[in-house]
Structure 1
Amino acid sequence: MTTEAPGAAGKTTTEDTPLLEVRDLHVTYRQGGNDVPAVRGVDFTLAPGDTLGIAGESGCGKSTMALSLLRLQDRGARVEGEVLFRGENLLTTAWSRLRAVRWAGASVVFQGAMSALNPVRTVLDQIVEPIVLHDKVRVSEAERRATELLDSVGIPARRVRGYPHEFSGGQRQRVMIAMALACRPDLIIADEPTTALDVMVQAQILELLAESVRESRIAVMMITHDLSLLAHTCDRLAVMYAGRIVELGPSRQVLQAPEHPYTRALSRAFPTIGDPASRRAPAGLAGDPPRPSRTSVGCDFADRCPDVLPVCRTGEMQLWPAGPGRSAACVRALPDQGGTP
């Protein structure tokens, strides 16, 4: 029997409805009179309580993809496909409805904490405002909740009425995380959320997010270059290359037994604790990612791949099944090429 629960901004949904479904997402920029594809045919699904990590080199489309989910991409970008949040397509919904979904339904921890906060308002006021607007509570109640949130990320009550310039980069990042949690959203999109944090605070923030996942069943999509962080905090991992997802599956399985050569190269680029050889000479990856404006046939990774086959340069690549709960855009993952049956 299916039970019903209120979704974002009062939308009624059922337990059978995925929280987020991304279908054939494309994001294209216009540059010098030419189309430059930044995201090309991305598909994935998130259920309540899911944690998905997004990894890949700089420029592979991670942040562009994440921001486009809530239509936060740069002006002039063309976004195509479907982004279904509790069954509602956010790419076509009215702006008034989208504003209701933002904050209360889904929130973002932006990468640039140094410039993301309003410099002429206190950090407390910037968290109080969305709570009052979306939860319809008194200012005093919103201030109490905002103070508790700031305390949970290591900002003491005596400092909550400070202005952004009075905080370090790491402290501003903590304010951004508290702000993302302010309206108790169903989904948090975190773009490099712990980059500016020291190790102790990073552990505190990750535990706070994990507690929110356990207790409130929120879903988290986390973008970072730190593969060990994703393996520790995310149930699933999506690896992006040249605007596409090239491997998707349980995080530890993807990193410990990667099916795609690009994932293998990423995992080998990090030194292993206790292994002096990998610490002194971590593996790398020769060459550069393809330019987004290029037109190519076959696998985008072929020119850098150590295991390239003739079919890789001519065949159409897609995410193929590569074991239980796993998929990879590599022909070597197919059974007839020696991959997982």
Structure 2
Amino acid sequence: MPSNHKDDEFEELPEPAVSPLEEEAIRWLVRLTSGEANAAEKAQFERWSNQSPEHREALRNARQLWASLEGVLAEPQEEIPPAVVAKKPVEAPSRRSSVFRYFALAASLLLGAGVAYQSLHDWRHDFVTATGRQEHIKLADNSTVTLNTDTAIDVQYSSLERRIVLARGEAFFDVTHNPELPFIVKAGEGEVRVLGTAFSVRKDGDQLLVTVERGRVEVRAGADFVVLTPNQQVRFNGGVLREAQVIDSHSQLAWRRGRLIIEDQPLSQVISELDRYHPGMFVVTNDAVGSRRVNAVIDLAHIDDWLAALGDSQPIELHRYGFVTVIR
């Protein structure tokens, strides 16, 4: 598909002017809701917010924006028949669409502030990948790690064990066999122990997903544990280690080959997964569109092209507002 095709499919809109004080207020909200703000930063925020009436006004507007954003982005849209989508003329923006555009562009600003904050703190980790990037790492014992999109790990080797801490994201490990030196992956409250094997660990907040391609691994969460063999997967979330499931590891781990293999999944779930690999934000605002079942092999280097092709073949509208792509 020609690379410029997406320009015909996505509606590009200019970003509204935002004052430096408003930007600062939004950055404070991003920081304070990250869960990592310390007492000193909270005290600094209190001093900042009480500097002047203008500071308090900027903060009040930012809080209102933050509280209203989710509802505006999730507002259901009327489903449009394919013929209407194809022939619908361009209309002047309505008051509602202008409000939607403003909030979507504000989401772009929030997203940009969050990314900026994260990049300033990634120096704490040994290895980090940006959104949409992957990295292959060879460790001191000749084991290898492949980091998926937006991933951070720390390597803590000692004379007693080989330990990796997965701070966020997803990593595939191909471990050199050494029964005298256990290989351990720590991710949140979960822990994976192996001797020699190939497997992946994915951490999304407090949720953990472990997939085995070769060998055996033991997944522990508190006193609970499960042993996985090839083509098995287990989830840990809500403090509970779930039952192991049989899967196709070749399909599940296709991201290592730059692909995402989708088998009969709702579009909303597909979009949520693609969001991990794409700089920006995807928002599905139509429940009927989000529930459509999808089968696809997606090239992760050309996500926009795949979405444009989907818009050609389905009654789906795609609009871009800054960093936010709206699918309805």
- Verify same fold: TM over 0.5: no
Q: Greater Rg, structure 1 or structure 2?
A: 2
- Compute the TM-score of the two structures, normalised by the length of structure 2: 0.29
More strand by share: 2
- Compute the TM-score of the two structures, normalised by the length of structure 1: 0.29
